[in-house]
């Protein structure tokens, strides 16, 4: 394995009946890069992320993270190793406050959720850290609001904040700006990208919005029918004929 590779999949395969959602994919994420996964609906992007994060089990192939084979590991073990993710359809603890949502991830990271005999409220360092994370994601004014009562954009950010609170080395973001207004997309992406870049977290972002993809990603991986169609810098992808015809349609449509 070459230096600087954080995650590598080898021949990763996932079938749903006859349909090969992810078909022998060799995929890599390098240390510290922001990578975009693009492709039409059903291209296998989310399935790939589900396989790597442990939501789904691979039918064949291997997943190697920081030199360790994690293919057989549980979700819990992968998170411990440093793989975290957010969700396309926002997945929060709706009856807990925004602060509690983030604090829970911190408690979990420290292994403190096993404790029955301490009061969560009295663990000041955890609440301090949770507040700082909310501040980082510009959600501190919403700390006391139940997650179920936040706006869609705030929910998207909180979802990422929870994953970030696990202090991952690799963060998967499944459509962090889907379902929010066009004007809200850039602030969300600016917030997320400044955080991951300043802390050298590798991020793999699934995204449909090509403007977002081209302006925030160092590298783009395009998927089509379960396989990787193209892999390169935004400029290379912009010029790639196959990507243009299969994904973006016509060059005009990408403007």
Partner 1 sequence: MSTATATVALEHRSPLRVLGWAVPLLGVLLVLPFVVDQYQTILLAYGLIMGIAALGFNLLLGYTGLLSFGHSAYFGVGAYSVALMVKYLGVTSMELFLAGAIVACVLVTAVFGVACVRYTRIFFGILTMALSQVLWSLAFKFFWVTGGTDGLRVPTPTLLGVVTGKGDKIAFLATAYYYYVLGVFVVCAVIMWIIVSSPFGRALQAIRDNEVRAEFVGIRIRHYRWVAFLVSGVFTGVAGALWVPLNGLTTPDIMHWTFSGEIVFMTVLGGFRSFTGPIIGAIVFNYLKTYAVGYTVYWQLLLGVVLVVLVLSLPTGIVGTAERLWARWRAK
Please count the other Cβ atoms lying within 10 Å of the Cβ belonging to residue 232.
15
Given the structure tokens 């995929």, which residue do they identify? 27
The angle at the Cα of 248, spanning 183 to 30, to the nearest 5 degrees, equals: 80
Determine contact, residues 60/12, Cβ cutoff 8 Å: yes
Site for partner 1 contains 155 (CB under 8 A): no
Pull the structure tokens for residue 31. 């240390």
Q: Which C-beta is closer to partner 1: that of 9 or that of 97?
A: 97
Q: CA-to-CA distance for 112 and 246, rounded, in angstroms? A: 48
Site for partner 1 contains 20 (CB under 8 A): no
Judged by CB under 8 A, which of 57, 60, 68, 132 binds partner 1? 132
Site for partner 1 contains 94 (CB under 8 A): yes
Nearest approach, Cβ of 65 to partner 1 (angstroms)? 15
Site for partner 1 contains 144 (CB under 8 A): yes
Question: Exposed/middle/buried for 166, CB within 10 Å: 0-12, 13-18, 19+?
Answer: middle
Determine contact, residues 179/121, Cβ cutoff 8 Å: no
Q: Which C-beta is closer to partner 1: that of 113 or that of 151?
A: 113
Q: Which C-beta is closer to partner 1: that of 178 or that of 246?
A: 178
Name the residues that contact partner 1, by CB under 8 A. Answer: 53, 55, 74-76, 79-80, 84-85, 87, 91-96, 99-100, 103-105, 107-109, 112-124, 127-128, 131-132, 134-135, 140, 143-144, 162-163, 165-166
């Amino acid at each position: 394995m070459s230096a600087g590779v954080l995650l590598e999949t080898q021949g990763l395969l996932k079938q749903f009946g006859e349909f090969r959602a992810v078909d022998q994919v060799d995929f890599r994420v390098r240390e510290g890069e922001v990578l975009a996964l693009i492709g039409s609906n059903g291209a296998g992007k989310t399935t790939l992320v589900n396989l790597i994060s442990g939501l789904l089990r691979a039918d064949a192939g291997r997943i190697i993270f920081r030199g360790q084979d994690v293919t057989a590991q549980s979700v819990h073990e992968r998170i411990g190793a440093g793989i975290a993710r957010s969700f396309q359809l926002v997945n929060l603890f709706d009856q807990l406050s925004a602060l509690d949502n983030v604090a829970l991830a911190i408690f979990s990271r420290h292994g403190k959720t096993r404790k029955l005999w301490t009061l969560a409220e009295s663990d000041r360092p955890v609440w301090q850290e949770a507040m700082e994370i909310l501040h980082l994601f510009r959600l501190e004014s919403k700390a006391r609001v139940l997650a179920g009562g936040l706006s869609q954009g705030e929910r998207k950010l909180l979802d990422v904040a929870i994953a970030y609170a696990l202090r991952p080395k690799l963060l998967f973001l499944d459509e962090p700006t889907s379902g929010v207004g066009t004007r809200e997309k850039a602030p969300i992406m600016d917030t997320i990208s400044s955080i991951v870049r300043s802390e050298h977290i590798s991020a793999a972002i699934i995204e449909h919005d090509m403007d977002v993809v081209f302006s925030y990603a160092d590298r783009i991986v395009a998927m089509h029918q379960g396989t990787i169609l193209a892999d390169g810098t935004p400029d290379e992808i912009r010029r790639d004929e196959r990507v243009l015809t299969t994904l973006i349609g016509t060059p005009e449509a990408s403007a």
